[in-house]
Amino acid sequence: MTVLPKLSTGLDVNVRFTGISDFEYTPECIVFDLLNVPLYHHGWLVDPQLAEVAQAVGKLSYNQLVEKIITCKHSSDPNLVTEGLIAEQFLESTASQLTYHGLCELTSMVKEGELSVFFRNNHFSTMIKHKSHLYLLVTDQGFLHEEQVAWESLHNVDGDSCFCDAEFHLSHALGKEAAGGSPQEQELNQRQVDQDYMIALSLQQQQGGAVLSDLELAQQLQQEEYQRQQPSPATPPPQARAQPSARPAGERRQRQKPDSDCSIL
């Protein structure tokens, strides 16, 4: 009863790097035992073929490995220092908390059609194996109105996934980048909206405060956008510029008049 309220904020899970079900047992894990839900909580495994990395990480949990790295850095033994650097490099190179060895272990050990819990980057996801492929239940708010998106494939450690509907058919809905947009894309879009808004205000002022119709405003905005996208004429290199011709003494150079059709916003 004391554990159940913690479900709304998260559970304390400390992984080990030796198996997909290896973790430090905590009282919070009793929820999975009582509900008989398999906890394949991670694919963050060390490849046993990498002998040096496997020796440096050993059977330690994540918290224990971090403490070991700190201790080894301050050690006078060069072997311990090297071991700590190898362990630190492993954590940095697998910051996505999923390795190809762990992905292979998940694919081979999860049963067909079995619902289980997958843990990665402090998030719990519902996982299922369908026709030998792993899928995660999509719960991102960006897909709230995407009716054709229900599952996300788990076949790559870099996050390059596919989206499927409830029947595991490939969905043609937009991916996460298009649904939510990266922060850089959102910032660029917001800048464009602000710029268009300022242009619209300027156009209204040029019309003497008259209210433009949507069609008229759209046409003028399109014209302004077209003018912004026109490339400026390239300036010839200094050595290619024509030399000014000699003028009689006292003759003034005529200043070019500004184009009366141009206006500064």
**How do the domains of the chain map onto residue ranges?**
4-44+94-176, 183-228
pLDDT single digits (tens) 178-212 = 444 555 554 554 455 455 545 555 555 555 544 44
Higher pLDDT, 216 or 108: 108
Q: In DSSP terms, which residues pair with 119 in a beta bridge?
A: 124
Integer Cα distance of 3 and 184 in angstroms: 39
For residue 217, what pLDDT is reported?
53
pTM of the model: 0.60
pLDDT single digits (tens) 7-48 = 777 777 889 999 998 988 878 778 888 888 877 668 999 999
Q: In DSSP terms, which residues pair with 115 in a beta bridge?
A: 128
Higher pLDDT, 27 or 65: 65
Of 99, 94, 105, 87, give the one whose Cα is nearest residue 20. 105
pLDDT, mean over the chain: 75
